[in-house]
Amino acid sequence: MLTRLIPSTGEAMPAIGVGTYDTFDTGPDKAAREPLRQVLRELFAAGGAMIDSSPMYGTAEAVTGDLLADIGMREAAFVATKVWIEGRERGIAQMRASMAKLRCEAIDLMQVHNLVDWRTQLATVRAWKAEGLIRHDGITHYTPRAFRELERAIAAEKPQFVQLPYSIAVRDAEDRILDVCADNGAAVIVNRPVDGGALFRAVRGRALPDWAAEFDCASWGQFFLKYLLGHPAVTCLIPGTSDPAHARDNVAAGRGRLPDAGMRARMAALVDGL
């Protein structure tokens, strides 16, 4: 799988990961967990590593921790989660709970979710990083409406990671914030890379254009993900799925050629015309 370097450390990050919002919120249901186990196996078989969760995702952290233990892949995983609460002590309690659920002695990436009390929480995250309990720090938001605030936080604190929404249909990130991330040495994690599934609904019944083969694209899912990976500021995508076949298709987007700027413009024009 294609890798991108984390700017602050030079560590290579596989370009396709897995998001756990909604899909991993299964509780103890064994039947519901089985396809998720296969999703993770597809990720690791392809050379992926990033698994992104949050305490706001119901049981997703606990399910992720259990499944990684079941398949013996905790050491291969790059486990990312978030702190999403106000107040220093409450933030500490939430992060400790996340570590227990994920069965982690150290979290690979702790992100301040949706910039909630971000100055307070980021200070704690960095103190824990100095103690070896966290490897990387980051900040997130789920909506382009928050990009101005996100930009100010990036400039002020220079987080190692920034997670933000971006898709071929919702390209607000291209206006400025991806450049801000690059200028400040932040790795970029893309959430909502298929616009919550809306992109698949838009192309239902349509054939993939023949010219998609020019960048080793064999499906609409790969088309949408390769567009994002074609931007040099993007480090990792975290599409969410509970379907192993979809996971196999997602990770395939991290292989082969990527579209150049001219091809990306052609791709965007196609989607805009749907």
Predicted confidence at residue 198, as pLDDT, reads: 95
Domain that includes residue 23, residue range:
13-272
Q: Tens of pLDDT along 29-41? A: 999 999 999 999 9
| Strand order from edge to edge, sheet including 236-237 | 18-19, 50-52, 78-83, 107-112, 134-140, 161-165, 187-191, 236-237
Domain assignment present for 201: yes
Domain assignment present for 6: no
Please report, rounded to a whole number, the percentage of residues in the chain having pLDDT higher than 90: 100
Q: Tens of pLDDT along 15-29? A: 999 999 999 999 999
Q: Tens of pLDDT along 78-137? A: 999 999 999 999 999 999 999 999 999 999 999 999 999 999 999 999 999 999 999 999
pTM: 0.96
Predicted confidence at residue 220, as pLDDT, reads: 98
Predicted confidence at residue 89, as pLDDT, reads: 98
Domain assignment present for 136: yes
Domain assignment present for 62: yes
Distance of CA 114 to the CA centre of its chain: 14
Predicted confidence at residue 124, as pLDDT, reads: 98
Closest Cα to residue 246, out of 24, 53, 36, 2?
36
Domain assignment present for 3: no
Q: How many domains does the chain have?
A: 1
Please report, rounded to a whole number, the percentage of residues in the chain having pLDDT higher than 70: 100
Rounded to an integer, the average pLDDT of 220-246 is 98
Distance in angstroms (rounded) separating the CA atoms of residues 131 and 103: 18
CATH number at residue 33: 3.20.20.100
Domain assignment present for 70: yes
Q: Tens of pLDDT along 157-200? A: 999 999 999 999 999 999 999 999 999 999 999 999 999 999 99
Report DSSP letters for 8-21, one per residue: TT--EEESB-EE-T
Predicted confidence at residue 29, as pLDDT, reads: 94
